[in-house]
Amino acid sequence: MLGAALCAVQLSAQPKLTADNIEEVLGAMTLEEKAELCVGLIHYAPPAAGSRNYVPGAAGNTKAIPRFGIPSTVLPDGPAGIRIDPTREGSDRTYYGTGFPVGTAIASSWDVDLVENMTAAMGNEVLEYGADVILSPAMNIHRNPLCGRNFEYYSEDPVLTGKIGAAYIRGIQSNGVGTSVKHFAVNNQETNRHENDSRVDTRALREIYLKGFEIAIKEAGPWTVMSSYNKLNGEYTQQSYDLLTRILRDEWGFDGIVMTDWGSKEGTVKAAAAGNDLMMPGNETEVQRLIDAVKSGELPEADLDRNVKRMLEYIVKTPHFKGYKYSDAPDLKAHAKVARAAATESMVLLKNEDGVLPLKGTEKVALFGISSVDFVAGGTGSGNVNKAYVVNMVQGLENAGFTLVESLKDFNQKYVDFQKLNMRIGGESILLGESKVPETGLSKTYINSLVPESDLAIVVIGRNAGEGGDRRVDNDFNLTETERQLLNDVTTAYHLAGKKVVAVMNIGGVIETASWKNLADAILLAWQPGQEGGDAVADVLTGKVNPSGKLPMTFPVAYMDHPSSYNFPTGLETPGRRGRNGSEGVKNWDYTDYAESIWVGYRWFTTQDKAVSYPFGYGLSYTTFEYSKPVVKADRDGNITASVTVTNTGKVAGKEAVQLYVAAPAGGMEKPARELKAFDKTKLLAPGESETLTFSITPYELASFNIDANEWETAAGSYTFYFSKNVNDLSTSAKVSLKKAGSYEVTDAYAHIK
């Protein structure tokens, strides 16, 4: 009796966690409880199946501590939609997530409102499927075209990356659930991703690789940040006080929690001290390390208490803590419409000779390319969504009323079915996804025989890639010989008959285009447009939607035109040699030299005036736009406002993404010819309609990083503002002078690294 009474007294004496008594709860927690809260729940012992804290297929959970009313919280992937198991034991229903367009696609929309609207729908699925934080956005810079996870990421440019990431975070978090900005930081290859050391100078680190994170974190306040697997200048990012405390918190004011990526390393204690609050997915060894370290004095308990306090501040925000009664039934039909609309706004029209698009009067289409059937909605790995279906291009074109040449459609379907069976039997698989069926050849005779049966030919080129591996130059970045032959034979046959050919690229990352873009009459870059992809492609090909996407990265003439290609694991010059784990000196395996520094993407090509196949920011429309003479002025503090009026001078309604590039005054630090500092997209303008877009730029946003002085510096002098359709369009500009220079201090994190 006494024991029960004592226990009751003890229980009743427990402070139940609220948003207002965090210090009190912290003070009542045992060392074991503190350590457990800072380590993910070992997934081998998840919350009881069927409990409200267990979502099968979620990537991880945090630990519950019932005596304080602390629930386990649920953390699923991923950037293109919630990733959970689509079926559950004991349940006869399904739990599909909507497969939205991938990160690179939505960045191609250059439309922050569209992205926020799309992720508001995605965040609703996080809430209604009983989760608390989605492990996205993924925002690493496209340093090199061959990074296997570029499809998840946005751009070669940090401003586009940061603004799109901020919009993504706002949309998700508008549902009262959290995000996890990843992979922080300088995680730009998949080869040896757990151990590779990214060696980068301080200027490139701050101007290129951290700037996107800085913008998104300052503008949108993500609940969490995920540190990356890799090292940065010799130290694991998850164990770097410089990165996780000095820069992320002391400089940028981040006040959420930092979790590791999904893999435990030896340095648990160093990570906790550095400000990595949560070790995911978590195991008992890590709990014990923290307990032992506090007991031995290696880890000051104040450091652990700091992390636990941040964990408690995170937990009180979560739907699980608030006892949200989730439905397990988000409106997937409504979200499918959102996904389709976002996909159409993300597609980029690269070529449209003689206005072959939008298709008019076309009835019968010869649809070439096995990717028309094996259509890629999104990349592989944790960024892959367990979706109910994918609308491929056969279905999309037929849904739009086209008649497809039957024999070709049947051949492609049967070939893909056989190859996938063959791969499955062969055990060929990539991390969390299906290998791509390679293109097959068709005889010239057969191709020629289809010409009389069809009004037009469409050739689909597909690519897939994902987590855990980088892409290759041959037969990946470059076309396969079979693809090249197919394009040649189809265009020869159809052009001989005076008929047109449209190429559609269903890819997740840049491929070579210069050698073949002259063949097709029109080229549509569909990206990996999500589960509604085939219908979205048809919406654009038919003109139901006027394409308004623009490239978020450069399409170079050749792979080696990128300076980073000389220091990339699967590049031609320096094929990555697999060192043993724990090896030290294997280039692009144990370490990767970011020798190109800030010269990434268009910064290199414009400054060197080097030809590209398609420039950063490039994209056509079915209409035309004219820009007025811009107005640019600076107030006495150097804050700049700029405006330009855009007029639709064509015959159909359309949207225009206007890019604002700035050329800094000559002299002083070496700087890129011009850099993107802002962008905006018009509403849908009717023919003849105009809209004035206004931009605000602060002197800090114009600053470059001076390694010697270890500070940001904005030079005084004359700046040229370009209002552009793409990075090489310099037709509309204005100058503005900054009378006084500015400088902005930072901590000594990674100081003076050249």
CB nearer to ligand GLC: give 122 or 526. Answer: 122
Q: Count Cβ atoms within 10 A of the Cβ of residue 30 and give its class: 0-12 exposed, 13-18 middle, 19 or more buried.
A: exposed
CB of 590 to ligand GLC, least distance (A): 19
Q: Is 184 left (phi over 0), alpha (psi -120 to 50) or beta?
A: beta
> CB neighbours (10 Å) of residue 9?
9
Query: Minimal CB distance to ligand GLC: which residue?
Result: 262
Q: x/- contact string, 126-165, with ligand GLC (CB under 6 A)?
A: ---------x------------------------------
CB nearer to ligand GLC: give 183 or 562. Answer: 183
For position 382 contacting ligand GLC by CB under 6 A, the verdict is yes
Give the residue among 174, 117, 231, 260 at the shortest CA–CA distance from 589: 231
3-state secondary structure of 753: coil
CB of 219 to ligand GLC, least distance (A): 22
Give the residue among 150, 153, 147 at the shortest CA–CA distance from 191: 147
When binding is defined by CB under 6 A, the residue of 33, 190, 261, 470 that contacts ligand GLC is 261
CB of 180 to ligand GLC, least distance (A): 7
Q: x/- contact string, 73-112, with ligand GLC (CB under 6 A)?
A: ----x-----------------------------------
CB of 130 to ligand GLC, least distance (A): 18
Q: x/- contact string, 290-319, with ligand GLC (CB under 6 A)?
A: ------------------------------
**Binding-site residue total for ligand GLC (CB under 6 A)?**
8
> CB neighbours (10 Å) of residue 265?
17
CB nearer to ligand GLC: give 134 or 479. Answer: 134
For position 59 contacting ligand GLC by CB under 6 A, the verdict is yes
d(CA 661, CA 697): 11
CB of 385 to ligand GLC, least distance (A): 13
Catalytic one among 157, 261, 277, 476?
261
3-state secondary structure of 151: helix
CB of 400 to ligand GLC, least distance (A): 35
The answer to whether 677 and 724 are in contact (CB under 8 A) is: no
CB of 226 to ligand GLC, least distance (A): 7
- What tokens were used for 317? 């925000």
CB nearer to ligand GLC: give 59 or 458. Answer: 59
CB of 197 to ligand GLC, least distance (A): 17
CB of 722 to ligand GLC, least distance (A): 36
Please report, as a single letter, which amino acid is at residue 69: G
449-488 residues near ligand GLC, rule: CB under 6 A: 467
CB nearer to ligand GLC: give 225 or 461. Answer: 225
d(CA 28, CA 25): 5
For position 567 contacting ligand GLC by CB under 6 A, the verdict is no
d(CA 501, CA 487): 9
Q: Count Cβ atoms within 10 A of the Cβ of residue 549 and give its class: 0-12 exposed, 13-18 middle, 19 or more buried.
A: buried
CA 581 to chain CA centroid, nearest Å: 28
Strand order in the sheet with 224-227: 133-134, 178-184, 224-227, 257-259
The answer to whether 549 and 411 are in contact (CB under 8 A) is: no
Q: DSSP secondary structure string, 609-677? A: T--EEE-TT--B-SS-EEE---EEEE-TT--EEEEEEEEE-SSS-B--EEEEEEEPPSSSS---S-EEE
261 assigned to active site = yes
666-695 residues near ligand GLC, rule: CB under 6 A: none
d(CA 579, CA 570): 14
162-201 residues near ligand GLC, rule: CB under 6 A: 182
CB nearer to ligand GLC: give 143 or 182. Answer: 182
CB of 261 to ligand GLC, least distance (A): 5
CA 683 to chain CA centroid, nearest Å: 24
Q: Please count the residues of the chain.
A: 754
Please report, as a single letter, which amino acid is at residue 740: K
Pairing of strands 500-506, 522-525: parallel
Q: DSSP secondary structure string, 326-366? A: --S---HHHHHHHHHHHHHHH-EEEEEGGG--S--S--EEE
DSSP conformational letter for 368: E
Q: x/- contact string, 334-353, with ligand GLC (CB under 6 A)?
A: --------------------
d(CA 514, CA 505): 14
CB of 135 to ligand GLC, least distance (A): 4
CB nearer to ligand GLC: give 132 or 261. Answer: 261
CB nearer to ligand GLC: give 137 or 617. Answer: 137
Please report, as a single letter, which amino acid is at residue 136: S
> CB neighbours (10 Å) of residue 246?
19
CB nearer to ligand GLC: give 262 or 568. Answer: 262
CB of 131 to ligand GLC, least distance (A): 13
- Helices 301-315 & 284-296 angle (0-180, nearest 10): 140
Kindly report the three-state secondary structure assignment for every residue of 174-228.
Answer: CCCCEEEEEEECCCCCCCCCCCCEEECCHHHHHHHHCHHHHHHHHHHCCCEEEEC
617-646 residues near ligand GLC, rule: CB under 6 A: none
CB nearer to ligand GLC: give 467 or 489. Answer: 467
CB nearer to ligand GLC: give 261 or 489. Answer: 261
Beta bridge partners of 404: 365
The answer to whether 103 and 153 are in contact (CB under 8 A) is: yes
d(CA 386, CA 129): 13
CB of 663 to ligand GLC, least distance (A): 36
CB nearer to ligand GLC: give 189 or 344. Answer: 189
d(CA 106, CA 100): 9
| 3-state helix vs strand vs coil in the chain, percent to 5 | 30, 20, 50
CB nearer to ligand GLC: give 107 or 405. Answer: 107
- What tokens were used for 67? 């005596």
Enumerate binding residues for ligand GLC (CB under 6 A).
59, 77, 135, 182, 261-262, 382, 467
Query: Hey, which residues are catalytic here?
Result: 261
